[in-house]
Each structure stands twice: as structure tokens, then as C-alpha cells.
């Protein structure tokens, strides 16, 4: 939980620090780099962690998960390079910044296989510490280097070096103490893992696109400084989503045990309590955003945000629905409803693709906020419908 909190906070804080230190224009480039890297890193994640942690029958070994992760990380790096230098054809400075941030996220993707194995072995504490220490190391190195050099590209290079050292010290070395690190030559097993996770990956990749679509639309239709403004007012949304991860990720094994044991009353009761907690937190965050959000974020970022109070509160409200939809994703994963996850995410991602750019071109930042809300609300109802259908099926089977 601590590790997830530090990791989520690092993206917000790094964006604030960079925008504050280098200005809204170059800070906007860093902001879209964070957005794109958080989407592309899911190629490296490929949702193998959720599959690995809930593999209670040990169908696959760690070496097989490890080999799969190496392959996926290589694909992620190649895809990032093609996207930045070939598809988007950013000008050189922007391309280098975006690619270097993607390299930072690549390290997270690779370390994920070690932290998943630690969690599976009941050492979520070690997994959390590894993630936290590694995140603090590369974040502090980036900030200090930027303070000393005032050069974002050089600072990202330094941060990548420290990040690689963090992976070695806090993941590879730790895993070497509690288990054997190896790779497999059984490519058939690797293929099986990848094929098993494809629906989960496609679904969560679509989810990251849904979160990113409004920001990508701003990148394609507005100047970089507006990306900074939107990134700053979007940050409080992450607080609610972070709470959902705090609450539900450690409970995945318990959800899996209750569901597989057909303890449906306990399973759905725990889910209802979690959803209620998310909505209570959303209301609190909306009140805080209205009263304190703009003054605090303006001071922290150095951006003039007085015109965006309404958009800030509205985005927090939308963030509550996003947290609920992501929670539903966890539940459907436990149910092994991979087809439902895939279909629902594809529908929502298509909606995001269709409406985001037109709304941004027409309404600017308010259009970006509305496009985000429409899509996460749609996804929330789609997931709810899938869970309800499975619930009715489970109850009939039990009776």
C-alpha cells in the first residue's frame, strides 16, 4: 500500500515540480510524456501481475512469468520508439523527453514481475517497500538534477541511471534472497501466459487510453501550456483512484478465495462496502477541491488556474466514477470474466476516441473534462451490468 501510494504520488509531484521549475510550455511536454508513458508501460505490464498473483494453483512458475516479462518489456521499448519518432514525429526535443520518460516507466514494467511474486508469497510488505524505495530514488534524482542543471533532458538521463540502480538493489537483490531468479526456454509456457492475459491487457490498455484520451486530444489541438493547466487540475482525480487501489489491490487474494469458495455473501458484501467508501471520499474531495484546490494548485505549479475551478470540481466528481469502474475491473478479473472486460473496455475506448478531440477543439479544457466524464460513466455502467449478470448466474448455480 505504501509503495502504491508513493508511486502514484510521484507522478503528480514530479509533474508539479517540473512545471514549476521549467515553466508551463516545457512542463506541458513533460506532462504529455507522463501520460503517454503511463499508457505504453501497460505493454510491459500486460496485466501479468493480476494473473500472477491470483494464480493460486501455480499453473506457471516464476521463471516463466519472468521470461514473459522480459519479452514484453522489449516490445514496450520498441513500441515507444516507433510511436514517438515515427508515428507522432515530434520535434527532436519533445521526442527525446517523451522517450526518456517512457524508459523510466519501462523500469516499472520490468520490476513488476518481482513485486508480483513477493505479493504472491505473502510478502506484500517487501513488494511495497521495493516499489517505494525505487520510486523515491529516481524521483529525487530527477528533481535534484533539474535543480542543479536546469536541463530537463540531462536530468531525465540521470534519473534513468538511478532508476536502473533502484531496480537492481530493491527488486532483483531482494527477490534473490527469498527465491530463485531464472528464465525458461519453454516458449510454449510464455505463449500461454501472454495469450491468457491478452483480454486483460487489451482491457486495461483501453482503460489507460480512456484516462489519457482527453490529454492526448489537448496535445493534438492546443498549445503545450494548456497541457500543463489540464494536467494540474486533473491531479486530484488520482487521489480517489489511489484510494481504490489501496483498498482493493491487497484484497485481491481474499476476493479470489471468497469467490472460488462460493462465499458470495461475503464477496459482494465486501464489494458494497468498498464502493460506499469511494463515494464518501469523492464527496469529501469535491468539497476540498472547491475550497482549496485552485489556490493550492496555483501555488504549487506556478500556473494561473483561477478560470478552472468548475472544471477541477467536475473532474474530481468524474474521478469517483473512474475509481468505481476500476474496482469493478478487479472484481471481474477475479470472476475470470475476461470477455466482458474486453468488450466493455473496447466500447468505452471507442467512445473516447470518437468524442475527445471534437470536444477539445470545440470547448477547450471544459470539453476535455466533459469527454472524460462521459466515457468513465459509460464504462462504470457497462461493468456494473456485467457483474450483475454474473451475480444472477452465480446465485442460480448456488441454488
pLDDT of residue 1: 52
- Residue among 249, 220, 356, 232 nearest 1 (CA): 249
pLDDT of residue 348: 94
pLDDT of residue 178: 61
pLDDT values of the chain reduced to their tens digit, one per residue, 399 residues: 565 667 667 777 888 889 989 888 888 999 999 999 999 999 999 988 878 888 777 788 888 888 999 999 999 999 999 999 998 888 899 999 999 999 999 999 998 888 888 888 777 777 778 888 888 999 999 999 999 999 999 999 999 999 999 889 888 887 776 667 777 888 888 899 899 888 778 877 888 899 899 999 999 888 888 999 998 999 888 777 777 777 777 777 788 887 887 888 888 888 888 888 888 889 998 999 999 989 999 988 888 888 899 999 999 999 999 889 888 988 888 888 878 888 998 999 999 999 999 999 999 999 999 999 999 999 999 999 999 998 888 887 776
Cell of 242: 489511489
pLDDT of residue 346: 92
CB crowding 260-287: b at 16 or more within 10 Å, else e: eeeeeeebbebbeebbeebeebbeebbe
- Residue among 29, 22, 28, 11 nearest 150 (CA): 22
pLDDT of residue 277: 84
pLDDT of residue 13: 83
Cell of 213: 484520451
pLDDT of residue 50: 79
CB crowding 1-31: b at 16 or more within 10 Å, else e: eebbbbbbbbbbebbbbbbbbbebebbbbbb
Q: Coil, strand, or helix at residue 37?
A: helix
User: d(Cα 37, Cα 104) in Å, to the nearest integer?
Assistant: 8
User: d(Cα 273, Cα 42) in Å, to the nearest integer?
Assistant: 29
User: d(Cα 387, Cα 293) in Å, to the nearest integer?
Assistant: 35
Judged by phi (left if over 0) then psi (alpha if -120 to 50, else beta), residue 263 lies in beta
**Chain segment 366-396, per-residue pLDDT in tens:** 999 999 999 999 999 999 999 999 888 888 7
- Residue among 281, 289, 336, 340 nearest 310 (CA): 289
Amino acid at each position: 500500500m505504501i509503495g502504491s501510494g508513493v508511486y502514484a504520488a510521484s507522478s503528480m509531484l514530479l509533474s508539479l515540480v517540473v512545471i514549476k521549475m521549467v515553466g508551463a510550455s516545457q512542463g506541458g511536454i513533460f506532462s504529455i510524456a507522463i501520460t503517454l508513458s503511463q499508457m505504453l508501460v501497460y505493454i510491459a505490464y500486460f496485466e501479468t501481475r493480476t494473473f500472477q498473483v491470483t494464480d493460486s494453483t501455480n499453473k506457471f512458475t516464476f521463471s516463466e512469468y519472468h521470461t514473459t516479462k522480459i519479452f514484453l518489456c522489449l516490445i514496450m521499448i520498441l513500441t515507444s520508439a516507433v510511436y514517438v519518432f515515427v508515428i507522432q514525429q515530434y520535434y527532436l526535443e519533445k521526442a527525446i523527453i517523451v522517450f526518456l520518460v517512457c524508459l523510466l516507466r519501462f523500469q516499472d514494467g520490468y520490476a513488476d514481475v518481482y513485486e508480483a511474486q513477493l505479493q504472491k508469497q505473502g510478502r506484500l510488505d517487501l513488494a511495497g517497500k521495493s516499489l517505494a524505495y525505487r520510486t523515491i530514488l529516481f524521483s529525487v534524482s530527477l528533481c535534484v538534477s533539474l535543480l542543479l542543471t536546469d536541463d530537463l533532458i540531462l536530468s531525465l538521463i540521470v534519473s534513468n541511471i538511478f532508476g536502473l540502480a533502484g531496480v537492481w538493489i530493491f527488486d532483483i537483490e531482494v527477490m534473490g534472497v527469498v527465491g530463485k531468479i531464472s528464465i525458461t526456454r519453454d516458449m510454449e509456457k510464455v505463449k500461454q501466459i501472454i495469450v491468457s492475459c491478452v483480454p486483460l491487457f487489451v482491457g486495461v490498455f483501453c482503460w489507460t487510453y480512456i484516462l489519457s484520451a482527453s490529454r492526448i486530444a489537448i496535445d493534438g489541438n492546443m498549445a503545450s501550456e494548456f497541457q500543463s493547466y489540464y494536467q494540474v487540475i486533473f491531479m486530484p482525480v488520482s487521489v480517489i483512484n489511489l484510494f481504490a487501489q489501496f483498498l482493493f489491490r491487497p484484497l485481491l487474494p481474499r476476493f479470489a478465495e471468497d469467490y472460488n469458495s462460493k462465499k458470495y455473501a461475503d464477496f459482494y458484501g465486501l464489494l458494497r462496502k468498498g464502493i460506499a467508501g469511494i463515494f464518501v471520499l469523492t464527496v469529501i474531495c469535491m468539497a476540498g477541491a472547491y475550497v482549496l484546490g485552485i489556490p493550492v494548485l496555483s501555488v504549487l505549479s506556478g500556473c494561473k488556474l483561477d478560470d478552472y475551478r468548475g472544471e477541477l470540481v467536475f473532474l474530481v466528481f468524474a474521478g469517483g466514477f473512474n475509481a468505481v469502474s476500476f474496482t469493478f475491473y478487479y472484481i471481474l478479473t477475479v470472476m475470470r470474466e475476461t470477455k466482458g472486460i474486453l468488450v466493455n473496455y473496447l466500447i468505452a475506448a471507442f467512445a473516447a476516441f470518437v468524442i475527445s478531440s471534437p470536444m477539445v477543439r470545440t470547448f477547450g479544457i471544459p470539453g476535455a473534462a466533459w469527454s472524460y466524464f462521459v466515457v468513465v460513466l459509460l464504462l462504470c455502467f457497462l461493468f456494473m451490468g456485467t457483474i450483475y449478470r454474473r451475480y444472477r448466474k452465480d446465485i442460480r448455480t448456488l441454488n
